[in-house]
Amino acid sequence: MRIDTDQPVRLADYQPTAFAIDTVHLIFRLEADRTEVTAVLKVHARDARDAGPPLVLDGDGLKLKRVSLDGAVLDPADYTATPDMLSIHTIPDRPFELAIETTLDPESNTKLMGLYRSNGTWCTQCEAEGFRCITYFLDRPDVLSVYTVRIEAPAALAPVLLSNGNLAEDGLLEDGRHYAVWHDPWPKPCYLFALVAGDLAAVKDSFTTRSGKAVELGIYVEHGNEDRVAYAMDALKRSMRWDEEVFGLEYDLDVFNIVAVSDFNMGAMENKGLNIFNDKYVLASPDVATDQDYAGIEGVIAHEYFHNWTGNRITCRDWFQLCLKEGLTVFRDQEFSSDMRSRPVKRIADVRTLRSQQFPEDGGPLAHPVRPEVYKEINNFYTATVYEKGAEVIRMLKTLIGDDAFKAGMDLYFKRHDGDAATIEDFIVCFAETSGRDLSGFSRWYSQAGTPTVEVTEHYDAAARRYRLTFVQTVPPTPGQAVKAPAVIPVRFGLVGSNGADMGYDSASGAEVRGDVVVLTEKHHEVVFEGVAEKPVPSLFRQFSAPVKPQIAMPPSDLTFLMRHDRDAFNRWQSASTLAMTMLIAGSHTARNGGDPQVDGSYLDALCDTVGDNRLDPAFRALMLAIPGENDVAREIGENVDPDAIAIAHRAVKAALGSRLAPVLEAALAEAGNTGPYSPDAANAGRRSLVNASIDLLAATGRAEALQRAADHYAGASNMTDRVAALSTLVHRNAPGAEAALNTFIERYGDVPLVVDKWLSIQATAPSPATLDRVKALTEHPLFSFGNPNRTRALVWSFANMNPTQFARPDGEGFLFVAVAVRLLDDRNPQVAARLMTSFRSWRSYEPGRRTRAEAALKRIAEKASLSRDVSDILERTLA
Ligand code: TRP
Ligand code: ZN
């Protein structure tokens, strides 16, 4: 393993730069085999007294051609240049102009950071520290400059030339070359710089802001994909309108462009006025995209657009503040999707994501606070904790201070910090002011890692008409944080009476109660309600009001009661999940000891009643059918995990559901079965999710006619949603016809890479001992490439994260396969390699046999002669 000599970066060490860069003029001369970049920086010392020290700029693998100061070429004695740093020794004590010329090789850039080529298109990715792969710079988010960018390129190779801001000028040059000049009037950090040049098709539209400003909208895609951008364009316009209506925020340039590229490390990037997207989050038509794809596009288009204010107009002082833009922007995109679709359905989906992605992170060796205090590699902190838990913290803040103070606090934040590189403290103080509350306790959500548990017990005194809830919270220790202070936890609640309606009470004492929210601030709280007419059933953490693990001592009959009656849809679903989880855990232990898992009849009865209630939203009924996944069960069990035992229990519960609910599922199919002409809207998609969940559960019984029904559904599918749902049911049940279906699928869609990904994932997640060999074979398939992050995620990441029994094969071969893939990817694309490595984050919770195998696989990675900082950082923390 590489000896790690890199010093970690610490929040506590923050210092502003001695120099500011006021303007940046960039000239890119793009050629087929190399690119020349000239960067002209106007620099001044922030404080005249600081004019003395040398100016040290960041680089990453750069080749310097020439550097001049105020027009005079510098002698090599005047500076030190390495690929990773440029230090100018003597600096004049007045503002000066530095011109730096570098030569790049975008063609061979496989890391997909800085300037690279994707299917022939030149494009950039600068967040977090990619700008330093283009030129030497103060590559940190608190250095804000006004950019002017001139791009020169062969007109035939790159008829389209784009950068941030507004187009200032374009024209022809000699030798078939042409140029464009873009100017962005808004000062920005370099991570928001972007350039795109290529032969792309443009789809144009326009949007008029509420103050009457016309904005030209463009979505750029590879030729042939023009007919797959309509949904993204519509989502963009809806996002722009929504941000005006809900947050009062308008767009601020003449153009807003989006470019879809097929090689991209993440989902998308919010570069000012020029968002660059993984094409997965742009391209859709009913024949190639699923309902889930459409929802993803809507959410990511909104997310990147919303960054224009939360991220771009107000950016981050340093990368420790990443959640300032990411958590807040996720919160905003979640709210947008809730308004566009069904709020409870969106909430349930978001909570499932939080539990499956963030909870294991928070409970394992990679746990870190929403605002970390130290990092070795910032790329490894684009995590579920920063994004998803970061959004939960904003949501709790709103719950805690109320809608009005929250709205006023957001307004104040935009007014006070527009144009700033801000911190979490700057943000929080706005809400402290508008709410008049002391938010210092609440702020611990930013500094303490770990998912709190909240134990709740109840007591009812009929004679005194008094009802008491006792809450005890525990924040578990996490790496580097042995001892925790109590968290401030808003518990949204209702006391449900025997008629199913929420009951009133005369008074509440103990913890603070504001409306329907109890605010826990201490380790231990007792809330006493007076004047409670009968013993209520408590409905706690409604809407999942805090990212905690509630442990509520409650009889199963209370949970089935809430499944049927709670007016909070989230808790109806949660009650069903809690019951299913209890059975799955018990069933796993039974299976481990060779017994048969049992399923509780009253749970099945209550499920029949809810799923059979056709006054309820079909999408919600489909979610009621989705029992916790095998990984969820493993996480709850927490130690000595045996994925095979969990899989047996999981199959048993699904089979019991399939047979017991059969009449209800048949009725649902009859009711929702004909979903009519395809539309990606929530109502139409919801009916499909109920149909597909029903078909899958019926097939879980293994009955021949149920498997035949899935085969018919596949053959008769008229959209990609039904087609992949049916295909996955067939393949995962190893049904007759599964192989033939896989073949017809790839014959038909082999030329659509985003659909190839679905084909790869379905095979990678089949719970069969034959899967590993198949996955290995697929890595050699002509349609697969380790060079493309989407293909790699579809095959290898899916195998490692969504196939618990085969990744954790008892012989360790699944672990080894992923370890070898990490080693291979490490040289090519460290970011993707490091992300794949996080699949091992829960390795210590396996039973001893698998734990030993997982450790051996991790050591295989550690043995590699040289490891990227990305992978070695994750590896060190995983093994620590
Ligand atoms: N800021 C991007 C977002 O919207 C995240 C991102 C895109 C990113 N590409 C990246 C982060 C590359 C690190 C590296 O969330
Ligand atoms: Zn973001």
pLDDT digits (tens, 9 = 90+) for 793-829: 999 999 999 999 999 999 999 999 999 999 999 999 9
692 lines ligand 1 (CB under 6 A): no
Query: Is residue 85 located within the same domain as residue 66?
Result: yes
The average pLDDT across 123-142 equals: 98
CATH, residue 85: 2.60.40.1730
Residues 215-224: tens digit of each pLDDT? 999 999 999 9
Ligand 1 atom nearest the C-alpha of 387 is 15
- Rounded Cα distance, 549 and 285, in Å: 39
How is residue 286 written in tokens? 């009913």
Phi, psi of 330 (to 5 degrees): -65, -45
pLDDT confidence of residue 47: 86
**SS3 call for 30:** strand
Q: Is the peptide bond before 81 cis (omega within 30 degrees of 0)?
A: no
CATH, residue 461: 2.60.40.1840
Residue 266: pLDDT band (50, 70, 90) is very high
Residue at 175 is within a domain? yes
Distance in Å, CA 225 to ligand 1 centroid: 24
CATH, residue 430: 1.10.390.10
379 lines ligand 1 (CB under 6 A): yes
Residues 825-834: tens digit of each pLDDT? 999 999 999 9
Query: Is residue 149 located within the same domain as residue 193?
Result: yes
**One-letter amino acid of 93:** D
- Mean pLDDT rounded to a whole number for the chain: 97
Which position has the token pair 């963030």?
358
Query: Is residue 436 located within the same domain as residue 463?
Result: no
Residue 321: pLDDT band (50, 70, 90) is very high
**First-to-last C-alpha distance (Å) of the chain:** 15
Residues 833-850: tens digit of each pLDDT? 999 999 999 999 999 999
Residues 455-500: tens digit of each pLDDT? 999 999 999 999 999 999 999 999 999 999 999 999 999 999 999 9
Distance in Å, CA 647 to ligand 2 centroid: 35
Lowest-confidence segment of 11-25, 319-333, 662-676, 848-862 by average pLDDT: 662-676
Looking at the predicted structure, is the pLDDT value of residue 126 above 60?
yes
Query: Is residue 417 located within the same domain as residue 457?
Result: no
Residue at 205 is within a domain? no
Query: Is residue 386 located within the same domain as residue 500?
Result: no
Q: Which residues pair with 669 in a beta bridge?
A: none
Nearest residue to 837 via CA among 864, 847, 848, 810: 864
The average pLDDT across 499-525 equals: 97
Distance in Å, CA 267 to ligand 2 centroid: 9
Total Cβ atoms within 10 A of residue 346: 21
Residue at 148 is within a domain? yes
How is residue 188 written in tokens? 């920005």
pLDDT confidence of residue 93: 86
Ligand 1 atom nearest the C-alpha of 311 is 1
124 lines ligand 1 (CB under 6 A): no
Burial 67-85, CB ≥16 within 10 A → b, else e: bebeeeebeeeebebeeee
How is residue 582 written in tokens? 């209890």
The average pLDDT across 848-870 equals: 98
How is residue 461 written in tokens? 């005194």
pLDDT confidence of residue 600: 93
pTM exceeds 0.75:
yes
Residue at 721 is within a domain? no
Protein residue with least CA distance to atom 11, ligand 1: 127
729 lines ligand 1 (CB under 6 A): no
Protein residue with least CA distance to atom 14, ligand 1: 127
Query: Is residue 164 located within the same domain as residue 58?
Result: yes
Distance in Å, CA 266 to ligand 1 centroid: 6
Total Cβ atoms within 10 A of residue 214: 9
Query: Is residue 54 located within the same domain as residue 159?
Result: yes
pLDDT confidence of residue 346: 98
For the question of residue 361 being annotated catalytic, the response is: no
Q: How many domains does the chain have?
A: 3
Residue at 285 is within a domain? no
- Residues with CB under 5 Å of ion ligand 2 are 326, 329
Contact 825, 788 (CB under 8 A): no
pLDDT confidence of residue 672: 83
**Cα of 745 vs its chain's centroid, Å:** 29
Phi, psi of 680 (to 5 degrees): -80, 5
Q: Which helix or strand (DSSP H or E) is residue 740 part of?
A: helix 738-749
The average pLDDT across 261-279 equals: 98
413 lines ligand 1 (CB under 6 A): no
Query: Is residue 415 located within the same domain as residue 439?
Result: yes
The average pLDDT across 563-578 equals: 98
Residue 3: pLDDT band (50, 70, 90) is very low
Query: Is residue 394 located within the same domain as residue 512?
Result: no
Query: Is residue 365 located within the same domain as residue 393?
Result: yes
Query: Is residue 355 located within the same domain as residue 462?
Result: no
Q: Which residues pair with 222 in a beta bridge?
A: 200
- Collect all residues with Cβ–Cβ distance below 8 Å to 779 and sequence separation of at least 6: 786, 795, 796, 821
Q: Which of 180, 199, 218 is the last residue of a domain?
A: 199
- Rounded Cα distance, 389 and 536, in Å: 31
Looking at the predicted structure, is the pLDDT value of residue 5 above 90?
no
- Collect all residues with Cβ–Cβ distance below 8 Å to 473 and sequence separation of at least 6: 452, 453, 454, 455, 486, 487, 489, 520, 523, 524, 548
Domain limits at 58? 1-199
Residues 542-566: tens digit of each pLDDT? 999 999 999 999 999 999 999 999 9
Query: Is residue 47 located within the same domain as residue 179?
Result: yes
pLDDT confidence of residue 781: 98
Q: Which of 179, 199, 219 is the last residue of a domain?
A: 199
Residues 761-781: tens digit of each pLDDT? 999 999 999 999 999 999 999
pLDDT confidence of residue 2: 44
Looking at the predicted structure, is the pLDDT value of residue 48 above 90?
no
- Collect all residues with Cβ–Cβ distance below 8 Å to 54 and sequence separation of at least 6: 87, 88, 89, 90, 91
How is residue 546 written in tokens? 């805090």
- Collect all residues with Cβ–Cβ distance below 8 Å to 97 and sequence separation of at least 6: 40, 41, 42, 43, 69, 70, 71
The average pLDDT across 312-332 equals: 99
382 lines ligand 1 (CB under 6 A): yes
- Rounded Cα distance, 578 and 627, in Å: 9
Residues 14-39: tens digit of each pLDDT? 999 999 999 999 999 999 999 999 99
Residue at 512 is within a domain? yes
pLDDT confidence of residue 4: 52
Distance in Å, CA 106 to ligand 1 centroid: 19
Q: Which of 159, 177, 199 is the last residue of a domain?
A: 199
323 lines ligand 1 (CB under 6 A): no
Nearest residue to 286 via CA among 714, 681, 762: 681
Residues 653-679: tens digit of each pLDDT? 999 999 999 999 999 999 987 778 999
Looking at the predicted structure, is the pLDDT value of residue 104 above 70?
yes
As a whole-number percent, the residues of the chain with pLDDT over 70 amount to 99
Per-residue DSSP letters for 3-19?
Answer: ---PPPEEGGG----SE
The average pLDDT across 100-124 equals: 98
Residue at 91 is within a domain? yes
Give the ligand with the smallest distance to the CA of 319: 1
Distance in Å, CA 144 to ligand 2 centroid: 19
268 lines ligand 1 (CB under 6 A): yes
If one residue of 109, 112, 125, 190 were mutated to test the ligand 1 pocket, choosing by the most ligand atoms within 8 A of its CB, it would be 125
pLDDT confidence of residue 1: 44
300 lines ligand 1 (CB under 6 A): no
Residue at 388 is within a domain? yes
